[in-house]
Structure formats: C-alpha cells, structure tokens
Structure 1
Amino acid sequence: MVERWDRVGRAAAYGAAAALVPYLVIKVSWVVGSLLGLLPVGRGFSLGGWLVLNTVTIGMASAGIMLGLALVRPWGMRMPGWLVGFVAWVGSGFLVSILPFVVVSALVNSATGTSGGSGGDAAMPGWEAALLQCSFVGTGIALAIALPAYLRRRWPHALRRPQQPRTRTSSGPLWPAVTGGVTGLAWLYWAAGGSLGIAHFDERTVSWHVLVGVSACWALAASGAVLAIDHRRRITRLPYLLLLALAWLGSGSMFAWSGWRLPATVYVALTHPSDVSYPENVAIAVALHVTAVLTGAGMTQSLVRGDRRRLNGADSAEESAQRVDRHP
C-alpha cells in the first residue's frame, strides 16, 4: 500500500510540473507581445508595471515547476529542507485560495449571468482564461497528492501525532491565533456585505466577494487549527493530520495572498490609476494585509518549532531507552 501511494505521489509530482507549463507559456507570450506591441497592456498598468508583474509571475511559475520536479527527482531529497518547505508552503497557499475561488465564482456567475471579471484584461480570450484556470486546478490537485508522499519519504515524523500529550497549557505564542481570527472575521464581514471600511461600494464585484470570503475561511480555519495544536485542552476531536493540514494551508494562504495583494494595494494608493480602484479603504486594507503576512509567518514558525520539539523529545526518549537497556 505504501509503495502504491509512493508511485501515485511521484506521478502526481510530474503532473504538477506539467500543469504549470501552459501558464508559463502564456505569461511569456504576454511579456514578449507587450514589448513588441502585439498585445495590449493590462487594465490599470503602465507598460513597465505590466512587465514587472508578469515577470514576477513567470518566476513563480518556474519555481512551481521546479518544486514539482523536486518532489520526485533524487536531487529534490538533497535540496535544503527549508527551501523546499518554503516554496511548497507559499505555492500551496496560493492554490488553496485559487481552487475554491475558481469553482465558486463559476457557480455564482452561471447563476447570476455575470462575467465575474476580476480586474484583469478584458481582451483576454476565453480559451486563454480557461487554460490558466486549468493550470491552477491541475497543479493544486497534483500537489495535494505529491507533497504528502514527499513528506512521508523525507520527514516521516512530521506526519505523526505526538505520542504523549503535552501537559503545558501552551507550546507556542498565542498571538498568531488571535490576529488570524481577527483578520478572518474582518474579511468575512466584508464578504458578507459589510460596509464599514469600504471606500468604493461599486467596486465590490462577485469575484471580490468570493476571494475575500475564501481568504476569511482559510484564516479562521488556520487560527482554530493552530490553537488546537499548540494550546490543546481537548478543544477538538478532529484528527491531528487534518489540524496540521489546515494550519499549514491556512497560514500559507494568509502569507501568500496578502503578500501578493499588499504591494498591489500600495501601488494603487500611490499612483491613483484612473481605471482601477479597490473597494476597501486603503489604510485598512494595508493594515490587514500586513497583519495577515506576519500572522501566517508566525503560525508556521510555531508549527516548525513544535515539530522540532517533538523530534528532539523522541530522540531523547530513544536515547534514554538505550541507556536503560545497556544498564539495567
């Protein structure tokens, strides 16, 4: 069974890398086409800003392809663990927000008969948008299978529940769970139609509501999971692996998406483009994004430290058992 799961994970890793190739090709064509004057610049961007944005996404797609290959190729086992973990964490954070956003937006738009544009270039052909979405969906599903298989091979202890429950009330700082919950509730309030902190009511599109709502759900899920893992007092009966996955993915979603939207929000606030404006009050949006980035990083740091403590504790217990065997 384990060998079959490993074979499936390896195939999924190749699939994750292949799924991002169409996205990479499209982004490269946008950059080359814009430079040659063959393709229009995205709405709300100057030529320089458009090139910078797409160059960054080309780098992200390239990193995603390398991540997929690292999860299956032998050299991936020799890469620094922190590098593989960071790229996987950020990539997973993007994808777990994109996948529900694509599905929910499609259902809502089909029910309301709206196009649901998200502020991108209106001249993008339908087949191109569909291909981009297929790249995200395919990569997300493939990584969800490939990453656990890689973790099982390289860090099997990371997927194990601690053998002994901790007697201390807390093993990590409480602030990430608190700030994550506050940020999630603020986003949920906006997604539900709340007007406090909204500067441009007409800019609240269906896609905006969906994306903010998805971000809110992941922030709240991560906060609850971290609270249950690091401050457990039998507050939940959920499986340990599920809590670990919610904390990992939710913290990555907060860090990745707010880290992505923060510079875009600051850019719009400083340049005041005539055809682009965000619904939120800029100061409040920036504060929430900064809080989300710090919270996501704090959650992950707490999880990593807890994992190191468990590993060190297991090693100490094994050494003690060996000493007892040698000196009965």
Structure 2
Amino acid sequence: MGRVDRWGRSDRVGRVAAYGAALALTPYLLIKASWVVGSLLGLLPVGSGFGMVEWVVLNSATIAMAGIGITVALALVRPWGMRLPRAPLAFCAWVGTGFLVPVLPYAAVSSVLGSADGNPRSGGDAGSSMPAWEAALVQIGFVGMGLGLALALPAYMRRRWPDVFAGRLGDGGEGSPRALPWMVVVGAVVGLIWLYWAAGGTAGVAHRGERDLAWYVLSGVFGFWAFVASVATWATVRGRRAQVPLWGPMVLGWLGSGSLFAWSGWKLPFTLYLALARPPEAALPENLAFAALLHVAAVGAGAAMLRALVRTRRLRLRGVDNGDVS
C-alpha cells in the first residue's frame, strides 16, 4: 500500500512537472521566433559572427527543437502520449534529457559566471546583445524544461513500461565483464580530454585567450557525464550480478549517453561552420579539426551506448519471459 501511494504521488508530481516544462520553454520558442522575424524584417540585428542566412537557419533549428521539446513534455502527461510510437518518443526524450538534465547545476549558476547564451565560445545560440530579461527567460526555460523532464519522464515510463524499474544489476547481461565495449572506451577518452581542458590543459587548444570561465565549467561538466555514461553503460552491459537495482545505472547511462550525443551533435555543425566560413568575429578555443573529431567520437559513442542499454534491457526481459531470470 505504501509503495502504491508513493508511486501515486510521484505520478501526480510528474504530471505537474510535464505541464511546467512545456510552459517554461514556451517563452524561449517565442523569443527565437521574434529574432527570426525581426532579422528578416530588418527590425533586429543579426548575431555577431553570423550572416543573415546562417542566423535564420540556426535560430529556426532552435525553434524546431523547442517545439519538439514542448511536444514531448505534453506527450508525457496527455492521453495521446500513451499511444505514440515508443521509438521516436524515446529518442526525443533521450536527446532532451541529455541536453538539459546534465547541465542543470551549471544553468542554475550561469548568470553568476557571466555566460551569455549566445557567446560562440560557450557554444550557445543566442545574440551577444541579448537583453537581461530575455536572458533570464531563456535560463528559466532551460532549467524549467530540464527539471520538468527529470520528474515527468520517470512517471511516464512507470505508467507505460513498468518493467523498466524491475530487476537487479547483471540480470540478462551480455556476458563476461572482461572485455570493455568499444563505446565505453571512446566515451572515457572523450571525457578525459574534456576534463583535461577543464583542468587548464592546452593540448588541442588553438586560441587560449578565447577560454572563459563558462568554457572551463562546461568542459568539466561534459567530461564528468562522459565518464558517468561509460561506467554506467559498462555496469549495465557487462556488470556482474549484484544487489543493485538495474534502473540506477540505466538512468545514469541514459543521461550520460544523451549528453554525449546531444551536445556534441549540436556543437559539431557549429564547429564545421566556423572551420569552413572562418567568420572574423567568432572563434572557439579548441583546434577546430580536433574539436570536430572529438564531437564525432562523442556522437557515435553516445548512440552506441543507447543501443547497448536498450539491447541489454531486451535481453533481460526476454530472460524474464523465459523464466531464466529471478
């Protein structure tokens, strides 16, 4: 009875959080739409370092991403969300949580660090002359959506796929823990490089003067989650049997692999644009060729980790159906 009551309260919290996430991100969508329309009409300036076409394409992409995020949040609470195909919904939720949940601590204090959302050095997507009230709404949107998804997604999964929360570490694993899956090694190497940069390392850094506090902190955050993804994926896929709930490493692997895929997937085209266009007013601290290679590796490792987590889960459930797993 206590467990039922606890899940009932969690479900109510998750439903409220889903509506809150959609509401929090709506101002961000409207702000980005106003930037596109205002730039096309000549009422607002184009962001520093961008041409008109690049500016419109970049902000149109973020509008689409915000729209998908709002739709995913509503799908987690509305009845029609229970009927959506699981693969596209899970993918969008994976990317969304990978974008927002791992960087919640940074987003909460970014105003203290003085990071502007549109600073190319921080990998943002806004304009350098963004008013303070717009920056506040953008931050509220990111934090609100991240917190909302963190609370709403588990409640949704509990309603639709209750077996996700069942089982122990090592149930239905792929075999011996002797061999490390390749994506675990790649993720750990990527994480080590980001942590090296966060600690002040200069190898692979082309423009040392472009580094700011936000860049250091984000490098540390991304490096930390890359290691979390690698360890959690290894524990889920190759881990020995232990009295540890399987959902723990599954959740950490989900968030970490999503962070690898989403953030590097977002930064890769931006890095390639800078490498090809060479705009004089925009630069990244990293060597662009090395950064592009790093992001490709992170995207590939993140996607492979998700596939490994899903496959391991299916093997465990197959074992349950066959009566092989207690």
Pairing 1:34–2:33 present:
no
Give distance in 2, aligned partners of 1:224 and 1:237.
Answer: 17
Question: 1:217 matched to which residue of 2?
Answer: 224
Aligned pairs for 1:173-212 (under 5 A) are 174-212=181-219
**Could you say which residue in structure 2 is the equivalent of 1:137?**
143
> What is the CA deviation profile of residues 255-286 of structure 1, one whole-angstrom value per residue up to 9, with x for unaligned ones?
00000000100000001000111111111101
In the alignment, what sits opposite 1:62? 67
Shift of 1:171: 11
**1:128-186 CA deviation, whole Å, 9 max, x = no partner?**
00110001111111111110000001111112124874583159971111100000000
Q: 1:90 aligns with which of 91, 95, 101?
A: 95
Aligned to 2:160: 154
Provide the C-alpha distance between the structure 2 equivalents of 1:163 and 1:274, rounded to a whole number of angstroms. Answer: 52
Select the residue among 271, 276, 279 that pairs with 2:282.
276
Count of residues in Structure 1 that have an aligned counterpart in Structure 2:
313
> Would you say 1:230 and 2:240 are equivalent positions?
no
Q: Which runs of 5+ in 2 are unaligned?
A: 121-125
The one-letter code of the counterpart of 1:30 is W
Percent of counterpart pairs with the same letter? 53
Counterpart contact for 1:104–1:210, Cα < 8 Å: no
Bigger Rg over Cα: 1
- Tell me the alpha carbon deviations over residues 267-310 of structure 1, each in whole angstroms, 9 at most, x when there is no partner: 00001000111111111101110000000000000000011111
Provide the TM-score with structure 1 as the length reference: 0.90
Query: Are the counterparts in 2 of residues 9 and 146 from structure 1 also a CA contact under 8 Å?
Result: yes
Aligned to 1:75: 80
Counterpart among 264, 273, 295 of residue 301 in structure 2: 295
Q: Distance in 2 between matches of 1:199 and 1:13?
A: 42
RMSD in angstroms over aligned alpha carbons?
2.2
Aligned to 2:93, the other structure's residue is in SS state helix
Whole-angstrom distance in 2 between the partners of 1:21 and 1:171: 48
Offset at residue 240 of structure 1 (A): 3.2
Shift of 1:205: 1.2
| Equivalence for 1:306 | 312
Amino acid at match of 2:306: T
- Mean alpha-carbon deviation: is it higher for 88-97 or for 258-267? 88-97
**Kindly tell me: are residues 16 and 172 of structure 1, through their superposed partners in 2, closer, same or farther at Cα, counting changes over 3 Å?**
farther
| 1:192-241 deviation digits (Å, cap 9, x = unpaired) | 1101111111011111111111111110111111111111137x886533
CA contact (8 A) 1:105 1:210 kept: no
